[in-house]
Structure 1
Amino acid sequence: MKILVVGSGGREHAIVWKVSQSSLVDKIYCAPGNGGTEVEDKCENVNISDIKELAKFAKEKEIDLTIVGPEVPLVEGIVDVFKENNLKIFGPSKKAAALEGSKIYSKDFMKKYKVKTAEYEVFDNSKEAFNYIKTCSYPVVIKADGLAAGKGVIICQNEKEAEEAVKTLMLDDEFNGAGLKIVIEEFLEGVEASILSVTDGETIVPFISSKDHKQIFDGDKGPNTGGMGVIAPNPYCNEEVLDSFKKDILETTLKGIKEEKMDFVGTIFFGIMITKKGVYLLEYNVRMGDPETQAVLMLMESDYVQIMLKALNKELANYNVKWKKGASCCITLASGGYPGKYEKGFKISGIDKVQNKVFVAGAKKSGDKLLTNGGRVLSVVASGETLQEAREKAYNDAEKISFEGVYYRKDIGVIR
């Protein structure tokens, strides 16, 4: 098979790495890819990101399967364009991708199909939002309606912080239109979990659970990022939690997908909160998470391409994904200043000394050098028989890598 992977981050590098292990696959193209996908087995980068150009490329190269990494092309309708061109692609239609593309649409969907989630109100008028936050009990969560690269969720401890959030999103328009409509939501206290899943529209098969560490500083302090590290499986996802997730979230979501007649063959990612009152859905994503993918695929024993083909052929019923025993730990190495302003172009050294796997996120090749080219630069991933072993291996490797301003959290996987 010839495979096209769309995207340029650490998630896409992990997908390319996993797909390259399949005996079904001879050649992989990654568009546009990065400095890590470029050197991965069977893979070649192609500098294309326009949807129509990607479809043209897939036709010319007779691509057997396209896998979409990031959310933006899915929300923009890449799947619809590929299907119009009779090209096989793994991902939801534009309509189904609104489950991630619009927080308002997804919350209304949850309410309609009785998916267990936090109470919420919707605002498209800043004056009404400012009036509402005067009456709230705190903390509250304020979310941009549209896509904001994982940074459109603000937890506000008091009215002053809520005013600032509304101003940032609705008046200052910091997220280029994504925050002109907002959701103000009940704050749920507990432990977050990520459950990546695959669906063929008739069945949802959940993957192993994981735990993302969203905030920039140790102890879950500071602003949200795209993700500073992940462990898998999530130690808080016991049998009781998973049963509740299945009954109150997964099954009700599947009912909604069927009743709305969504064309959804792809990944559905459930961001959940485990509280004393039960398990609640925070959000849907319609693609693999980043950096959850890096940790989860490290433990996947099954052929990932085979799983996607089963989904495309509507054969997921009674299909079990096989997992390796043990745990994995992923640490994000970021540019100094991220998630605010940061500089690019610094030489990365020490990757050759690493014992485990490094996935490249924001870095590019320049001659024989690898240079920083983004906020989240690298994902260092290790697995072990225990979480402690996986953590030790990952941190030992992280210490060997250097570039100017390198920053990473020191508490990924610490169970409090």
Structure 2
Amino acid sequence: MRLVILGGGESGIGTAILGKKKGYDVFVSDFGKIKENYKEVLTINKIAWEDEKHTESLILNADVVMKSPGIPEKVPIVKKLLELKIPVISEIEFASQFTTATTIGITGSNGKTTTTMLVYHLLKQGGLNVGLAGNIGKSFAWQVAEDKYDVYVLELSSFQLDGIINYKPHIAIITNLSPDHLDRYNYDYNLYIESKFRIIKNQTEDDFLIVDNDDIEIQRWLQNNKTNAQIISFSIEKELERGGFLNENNLNSNINNEKFTMPINELALEGKHNLKNAMAATAVAQLMKIRKQTIRESLSNFQGAEHRLEKTLKIQNVQYINDSKATNVNATFFALDSMKTPTIWIVGGVDKGNDYDELMSLVREKVKGIVCLGVDNSKLFSTFSSVVDTMVETTSMEEAVKIAQRMAEKGDSVLLSPCCASFDLFENYEDRGRQFKQAVYNL
């Protein structure tokens, strides 16, 4: 069996190692450059590879192709593979057939990284032998090749879900839905929603789906479509008989007649959206039979994700906050909503079809100045220039942070919450977040 892997990043290399171990004839092809450390891994494992090109004669003879999530289906080589009816799958699909471990799959437009890390933290503290993979950490396939874990917590993007055929999580979470990555779905929100719901397509009545009861799109989909899984909901708007809800100032979770309760002021994470993330994670922990005391302790001592409303430094009584992971309007909405002080907002990048109008009331209420950080900021200017006092364009993070410092007064906050992808000026959102932190340290 010939396995061809498109993309020589973390998921590609992990898949190559697992494929080799399982007896496939493996070939890795990357249209860009493969990093040196990954090239070494391939060479040591005697796996054939190429970079900066796709050689058709070495690719189109594949029995199966694993495509990295970052490669769109409209790329010529992928189109040719699909025309030839060669299966093009994701790393998650490929690796899942070689493990008997229980998997917990987490998707959604926002909050999935935090929820994934929180679930992992709860299960690990509860003594389970658990791995963390998917869109985060070390490649799932690589971990399956090393075969160490009984349970995996997987953060799954819509692109990873597009490439699944038989994969089935025992517990699936859909945190929420809001328009994102629409450039990859022909600007059709329904296609994107369908993509997220692929997470449940193979679930049976022995499996669970955990969803936000307050999310209109999720509820609409569930009313109009059938699912075999047992549905568990969470809500911050109403009390539920089963699942997570608020009662006075307590987080409550009722699963299989097991009642869990905890004061919300003891949660490590702040903000409404994090209450929901905590409810989703608690439901998983209860289904996985983690002790209540352990759940309480874990929810109170959890350290949040880097680049997610991460308090960087306070300088001259101005708080600098790194929310580089906010790559869409919904994520930035949460960030602005959680601000308690007048805010200088650093925003911009590659716009994925954003509708900024949703942010208008928050910007009016919280934001006194905007620093645009992107190659094309015209849409931001036309939307917000009439609403804030000052709006400035910059093309480097260092400059953006210096200008924000000048605009800020004592008691203000400077928030990097870009609302956009990072690829115009940065390698990725992590690079953008690190550059922000470095620029703040240099002030």
TM bucket normalised to smaller: under 0.3
Larger relative helix fraction: 2
Give the TM-score, by structure 1 length. Answer: 0.28
State the structure with bigger RCO (CA 8 A, min sep 6), 1 or 2.
1
